[in-house]
Amino acid sequence: MMGLEAHVFSNAVTVVLLVGAGVLVAVVRRQRLWREAAHQLWDRRKLAIIVVGLYLGVALLDSIAWKGGIPEDVLDVLPNAPLTLIDRIFLGTKEASYSAPFADVEFYGAAPLRQPGSHLLGTDILGRDVFYLALKGARVALLIGGLTSLIAIPLALLFGVGAGYFGGRFDDFVFFLISTLASMPGLLLLIALIMAMGRDTLSVCVALGVTSWVGFCRLSRAETLKLRELDFVSAARALGVPEIRIVIRHILPNLAHLIVITFVLMFSGLVLSEVVLSWLGIGVDGSWGQMIDGARNELSREPVIWWNIAAAGSALFVLILAVNIVGDGIRDVLDPRMQKGSP
Amino acid sequence: MSVLLQVKNLRTTFPSASGPMPVVDDISFDLARGEVLALVGESGSGKSMTALSILRLVPKPGKVSSGSVLLAGEDLLRLPVTEMRRVRGARIAMIFQEPMTSLNPVVAVGAQVMEAIQLHDPINKVDARSRARALFAEVGIPDPEARLDAYPHHLSGGLKQRVMIAMALSMRPEILIADEPTTALDVTVQAQILTLLRNLQRERGTAILLITHDLGIVNELADRVAVMYAGRLVEVAERKALLSNPLHPYTQGLLKSIPSRTPAGERLPEIPGVVPSPDQWPTGCRFSTRCPLCFEPCETIQPEEIEDSAGRRVWCHEVERSMDAESSS
């Protein structure tokens, strides 16, 4: 299935994610507490939210692919390849070699430019439009940050909340697990996992997820230990609420602010660690990390090929900055200690 | 009146270095249908632990080590966990001392009451909501419809306690355990909550086990009073008899130390010393270390229960001696 119809699968995943986001928005809109928090966040961090939204939009346009509709004269893609909207916009922009931003003459005496002056950020050594590559990187970055968080956070919650609430043997087991993982060098474990599972996006996400849940697991365990001693948990027990229901209805909602904050902060950390993986040669294809890695050597040319690394670097920088600013805003809005009228 | 809840020889222990330490020691009492029984005692006397033992909610590592709790003849301590869960809330409900922290801060109060309703009664959301609204109105929450969607931090302490009471009453329990329901509230609100509890008890016939250290509240609400000291009962009596003629020296000391009973300008009498911690309890009468009437057997022999014809019970060597003297003369 993954082989032939990969684009159908990834289209389906995109649709599922969109529906999930829709449900999330509906839930947030129904709960006054969250609705107010969302409004406050928008008021405080408009620009950063818009920037993150732009990245999301680009990634979305780059996520739905379909076949056909490729003009006969385009030779740089297979005639039956599934292409996304972004791919289609930049169809036929491939040059034979380098082009500087807005350059209208060829570089290094290679073949004359097919579309002089049209490359906003120039082209790379293979003649691919750098702006196009930078846009394509958005999807990979969001996938790595988002998907990995979606793997790591539920894992951390399952172990952390379970250990904190039920204690006993399960707590011992989780702590054993945490200590074992913490005693291994994270990067080596990551490399070993990727070597074992392969280098496709999903494998890298799983590997990153497995190695990055420990911190939040500790945090959620500690927070649960605190929450389960609170009176409203005793009150729920005195009303005859089953233990599992107490966890779902009373513990998890009280962890929600931590979950949201952790998600956002984890996200930027994960995107950055993919760059490190790319530098080590085990990154995800099409990521900004690989662009940066590939452009490293080009810096020593004369004249300097700077636009390549600059484009990937600034795309990465702007995304991380915006996400961190939004994350900071979310923390301000949600952290109970920052709110007035709560203990 | 028929006996609804019968607590027999209840003992709750916590493990310690020197073996299990009883914090509730050999407590027996009855609660009749529709009756208000006040459980009175200083902090650390085991009042709250007695209540939690009845519901089998003693925090770990403590446990109920012996005795029985019969609800309409059925021993709660021997029920399977799932059955016990059905008793909690539906037949015995509890309200806690701190309304500030007894409500989940991130869930609207209406949803919390609805949860309590739907837990024991499979009805849909709309019905549960209208039931919650009716309950809110019954416990005197103004504008109940709007309050259903309020979060705990929007409400005052008194309103929160009313929500707690509404939640506890949602399943029409036969017994309501109120653990110092007014301690955290200011005086005017206290009076309102007490009136509310009394009205509810009269209208619904709910039996109330009222845990308090405030004798004013006892006077206001209780039919009978059980006085606890250091994990044991010292005296159980009708309210009037106990307040006008306390038999046990500890009860006498408690009553003497009420400010309004002492003429102005005089020094308020007090019971010397503090409640000993469980590892320092004397082998004899628990009160012997602070008792003004303590004599020879008190320090070594636990006093036996003395019951008079009116059902009044007291545990005291001194009372026993004076009664013996009376009957022999």
Asked whether residue A283 carries a pLDDT value surpassing 50, the answer given is: yes
For residues B305 and B307, give the distance between their C-alpha atoms in angstroms, rounded to a whole number. 6
For B89, the closest of A230, A240, A254 (CB atoms) is A240
**Residue range A9-34, pLDDT digits in tens:** 888 888 998 999 999 889 888 887 78
B230: nearest Cα among B46, B28, B16: B46
Asked whether A83 and A6 are in contact (CB, 8 A), the reply is no
A242 to B85: CB separation less than 8 angstroms, yes or no: yes
CA A172 to each of CA A164, B11, B70, B136: distance values in angstroms, whole numbers, following the listed order: 10, 31, 37, 44
**Residue range B111-158, pLDDT digits in tens:** 999 988 888 888 899 999 999 999 999 888 999 999 998 888 888 888
Asked whether B27 and B9 are in contact (CB, 8 A), the reply is yes
Asked whether A314 and A55 are in contact (CB, 8 A), the reply is no
Report long-range pairs for B304-311 (Cβ below 8 Å, ≥24 apart).
Answer: B310/B238, B310/B241
Q: What residues contact residue B259 under an 8 Å CB cut-off, 6+ apart?
A: B268
Asked whether A204 and B133 are in contact (CB, 8 A), the reply is no
Residue type, B235: E
Asked whether residue A338 carries a pLDDT value surpassing 70, the answer given is: no
For residues B296 and B310, give the distance between their C-alpha atoms in angstroms, rounded to a whole number. 29
For residues A112 and A95, give the distance between their C-alpha atoms in angstroms, rounded to a whole number. 9
pLDDT at A63 (0 to 100) = 86
A238 to B88: CB separation less than 8 angstroms, yes or no: yes
Confidence of residue A52 (pLDDT cuts 50, 70, 90): very high
Backbone φ and ψ for A129, nearest 5 degrees, come out as -65, 125
Q: To which H or E segment does residue B306 belong?
A: strand B305-307
State both tokens at A191: 């490399």
Query: How many angstroms away from the CA of A154 is the closest CA of chain B?
Result: 20
- Choose the mutation target among A231, A239, A258 for the interface with B, i.e. most B CBs under 10 Å: A239
pLDDT at B280 (0 to 100) = 82
pLDDT at B211 (0 to 100) = 92
Asked whether residue A77 carries a pLDDT value surpassing 90, the answer given is: no
3-state DSSP assignment of residue B23:
strand
A238 to B55: CB separation less than 8 angstroms, yes or no: yes
For residues A84 and A64, give the distance between their C-alpha atoms in angstroms, rounded to a whole number. 6
**Residue range A172-227, pLDDT digits in tens:** 999 999 999 888 888 888 889 988 988 888 888 999 998 889 999 999 999 999 99
pLDDT at B306 (0 to 100) = 85
For A341, the closest of B57, B115, B153 (CB atoms) is B153
For B153, the closest of A230, A238, A342 (CB atoms) is A342
A141: nearest Cα among A273, A242, A30: A273
Query: ∠ at Cα B170 (B168, B173), nearest 5°?
Result: 70
Asked whether B88 and B55 are in contact (CB, 8 A), the reply is yes
Confidence of residue A343 (pLDDT cuts 50, 70, 90): very low
B229: nearest Cα among B47, B68, B8, B67: B47
ipTM: 0.79
Give pTM, 2 decimals: 0.79
Asked whether residue A342 carries a pLDDT value surpassing 60, the answer given is: no
- Within chain B, which residues score under 50 in pLDDT? none
For B98, the closest of A231, A236, A250 (CB atoms) is A231
pLDDT at A2 (0 to 100) = 44
| Mean pLDDT over the full length of chain A | 85
Q: Is the peptide bond before A242 cis (omega within 30 degrees of 0)?
A: no
Query: How many angstroms away from the CA of B227 is the closest CA of chain A?
Result: 24
Asked whether residue A318 carries a pLDDT value surpassing 90, the answer given is: yes
* Chain B residues touching A239 at Cβ < 8 A: 88-89, 93, 116, 119, 167-168
Chain B residue whose CA is closest to A242: B85
Helices A307-334 and A46-61, axial angle in degrees (round to 10): 120
A230 to B101: CB separation less than 8 angstroms, yes or no: yes
A249 to B153: CB separation less than 8 angstroms, yes or no: no
**Residue range A122-173, pLDDT digits in tens:** 888 777 888 888 898 899 899 899 889 989 999 999 999 999 999 889 999 9
Total Cβ atoms within 10 A of residue A245: 13
